[in-house]
Amino acid sequence: MENEKKGIGKGELIALIVSSCIGTGIFGITSDVAAAAAPGSALLAWIFVGIGFLMLVLSLNNLSEKRPDLTAGIFSYAGAGFGPMGEFISGWSYWLSAWLGNIAFATMLMSSIGTFFPTFKGGQNLPSIIVAIVFCWLLTILVNNGVESASFVNMIGTICKVLPLVIFIVIMVVCFKAGMFTADFWGRVANNASKGTTTGSVWSQMQGTLMTLIWVFIGVEGASVMAHRAKSRSAAQQASIIAFVTLVVIYVLISILPYGALTRAQLASMGQPAIGHVLQATVGTWGSILINVGLIISTIVSWLSWTMLPAETTMLVAEDKAMPKVWGKVNSKNAPTASLMITAVLQTIFLFSLLFTDKAYEFAYSLCSAAILFSYLFVGLYQMKYSSEHKEWGQFTIGLLSAAFMFACMFLAGWQEVLLVSISFIPGFIIYYLACRENDHKMSAAEKWVMVLILVLSVVAIWLVANGTITVG
């Protein structure tokens, strides 16, 4: 019987999903949301993003149930629906997002260390970048030697991550003043603009928050990935919904409650990690120390796990013959050495580039969010395709709403970042071409047209960067 199958229980699965989703993003979200939106607009943005990601979770639940044979990551849905080119685009974007997320980890980690050692203050000066590069290569070498985050290490990371957040929420509830919260509920006070916040329509404020809110939801696809380890598929589906609702509640409380403790202008001007600075302003130094110690430990643990993720991605895509075999070749410790080393080199180069941007953390996570939208988009599109073939129109609607949400985020908030991500496909398509030659796959006319379209977008992106329309960082 399915219910008697050994595996992860519903409660354990909920904890696992929540833990894997909560990363550095939640520690910095307060100031980023406040800079873009007043509390009313921020709440509406959460509703919009929450519904969009709920559609993604429901699509993943449905596809994991209907296509249990597709176990090679969420990009396998792109392969099933749209062939090797679809899988490559999805996998390449997921890989790009994963290691760009590590850049955000690096800047947040060094900024936290800067609380105790002023040399690293801000997290993006030369000493910070050098130490971050050392961390990057140390973790790469550990993973290459077969060291993955053991369960007890993950447990430590989870406690250090969740406990400070719970304390933060409690303190914000105690400090909450309704009058301050409602003072400029819709962000119409014009003089806010001179204090690091933006004014404008409710919709424009919502747009300004989208990439930030997407960033904290990256990892929600882990629910479907873990489904095969659950005691039953129904337990996995229930866990994914409960975990998703739990995450939304935590995220909303962390980002919205501070509006009742400090002014929007004060919140927007906070450095990273923002919630550490919020506690510094409300309860004193001990609050900042608590947040930063928890953040340092949890970031290192998360970074270890996420060092393996990009390499795992390319390994699975290579197994499906959408990338050259070398990207999936493993050593005696079962670690994909070539992929790990290529990723580490790219992270090193990118870390040095952060010397030339004022907002390194925000720039890294915006690119990370834009890249993963491609992978999420393919999930919605395949959900639509599969459901239409089987005349499941309710599921088709869910896929349609998921895909529409990803398109909306791409065009409304992240079009500049999406164009920047398209530049990565210039070397990407060379790699795909080599995979086609290696596996005797003749590219179809449709694949060639897709390639041409994306390359045109990448040329446009380079031109817009050159003339200053798109600012890097």
Q: What is the pLDDT of residues 205-235, one digit of tens each?
A: 999 899 899 988 888 876 555 555 567 777 7
Print the domain residue range for 278: 2-466
Q: Which two tokens stand for residue 182?
A: 């409602």
Q: What pLDDT was estimated at residue 227?
A: 57
Q: What pLDDT was estimated at residue 153?
A: 66
pLDDT at 2 over 60: no
pLDDT at 407 over 90: yes
Helix (H/G/I), strand (E/B), else coil: 464: helix
pLDDT band at 4 (very low <50, low <70, confident <90, very high): very low
Residue 286: which H helix or E strand, with range?
A: helix 285-319
CB within 8 A of 109, min separation 6: which ones? 24, 123, 132, 135, 295, 296, 299, 300, 303
DSSP-assigned states of every residue in 288-334: HHHHHHHHHHHHHHHHHHHHHHHHHHHHHHHHTTSS-GGGT---TTS
Contact, 41 vs 255, CB < 8 A?
no
Tell me whether residue 472 is in a domain: no
Q: Which two tokens stand for residue 459?
A: 């040329």
Tell me whether residue 292 is in a domain: yes
Tell me whether residue 473 is in a domain: no
3-state secondary structure labels for all residues of 55-88 = HHHHHHHHHHHHCCCCCCCCHHHHHHHHHHHHHH
Q: Kindly report the average pLDDT of the chain as a whole number.
A: 86
Going 133 to 138 to 143 to 149, the CA torsion angle's sign is: negative
**For 264, what's the count of Cα atoms within 13 Å in the CB-facing half-sphere?**
31
Q: What pLDDT was estimated at residue 226?
A: 57
Q: Please indicate whether residue 9 or residue 125 has the higher confidence score (pLDDT).
A: 125
Mean pLDDT of 332-351: 90
pLDDT at 148 over 60: no
The amino acid at residue 213 is L
d(CA 335, CA 344): 14
Average the pLDDT over each of 20-29, 245-254, 320-329 and give the range with the smallest value. 20-29
Q: What pLDDT was estimated at residue 62?
A: 92
Residue 286 burial class via C-beta count within 10 angstroms: exposed 0-12, middle 13-18, buried 19 and up: exposed
pLDDT at 27 over 60: yes
Q: What pLDDT was estimated at residue 194?
A: 46
**Segment 292-321, tens digit of pLDDT:** 888 888 788 778 778 887 888 888 899 888
d(CA 378, CA 399): 10
d(CA 376, CA 379): 5
Tell me whether residue 7 is in a domain: yes
Contact, 460 vs 419, CB < 8 A?
yes
**For 435, what's the count of Cα atoms within 13 Å in the CB-facing half-sphere?**
26
d(CA 252, CA 455): 38
State the Cα torsion 134-420-37-161 to the nearest 10°: -30
Q: What pLDDT was estimated at residue 224?
A: 58
Mean pLDDT of 146-168: 73
Q: What pLDDT was estimated at residue 371?
A: 93
Tokens 């980690």: give the residue.
109
Q: Please indicate whether residue 136 or residue 360 has the higher confidence score (pLDDT).
A: 136
Tell me whether residue 132 is in a domain: yes
Mean pLDDT of 126-134: 92
Mean pLDDT of 162-190: 88
In whole angstroms, how far apart are CA 417 and each of 207, 211, 369, 423, 464? 14, 10, 9, 10, 12
Output DSSP code: residue 201: -
The gap from C-alpha 343 to its chain's centroid, in whole angstroms, comes to: 17
Count of domains for the chain: 1
pLDDT band at 196 (very low <50, low <70, confident <90, very high): low
pLDDT at 3 over 50: no
Tell me whether residue 471 is in a domain: no
d(CA 389, CA 383): 10
End-to-end CA distance of the chain: 54
Tell me whether residue 232 is in a domain: yes
Q: What pLDDT was estimated at residue 1?
A: 43
The neighbour count for residue 85, using CB atoms within 10 Å, is 22
Q: Please indicate whether residue 468 or residue 404 has the higher confidence score (pLDDT).
A: 404
Q: What pLDDT was estimated at residue 22?
A: 81
* CATH number of the domain where residue 372 is located: 1.20.1740.10
Tell me whether residue 278 is in a domain: yes
Contact, 101 vs 84, CB < 8 A?
no
**Using omega within 30 degrees of 0 as the cis cutoff, is the peptide bond preceding 273 cis?**
yes
Q: What pLDDT was estimated at residue 470?
A: 82
pTM as predicted: 0.91
Q: What pLDDT was estimated at residue 300?
A: 83
d(CA 84, CA 82): 7
pLDDT band at 23 (very low <50, low <70, confident <90, very high): confident
Going 428 to 434 to 438 to 440, the CA torsion angle's sign is: positive
Output DSSP code: residue 444: P
pLDDT band at 154 (very low <50, low <70, confident <90, very high): low
Report percent pLDDT > 90 for the chain.
48
Q: Which two tokens stand for residue 261?
A: 């403790």
CB within 8 A of 369, min separation 6: which ones? 97, 211, 214, 215, 218, 414, 417
pLDDT at 358 over 90: no
**Segment 38-88, tens digit of pLDDT:** 999 999 999 999 999 999 999 998 998 898 888 776 888 999 999 999 999
**Segment 104-123, tens digit of pLDDT:** 888 888 988 988 888 888 77
d(CA 316, CA 70): 11
Contact, 227 vs 236, CB < 8 A?
yes
d(CA 276, CA 334): 39
Helices (H), 145-200: 151-175, 178-182
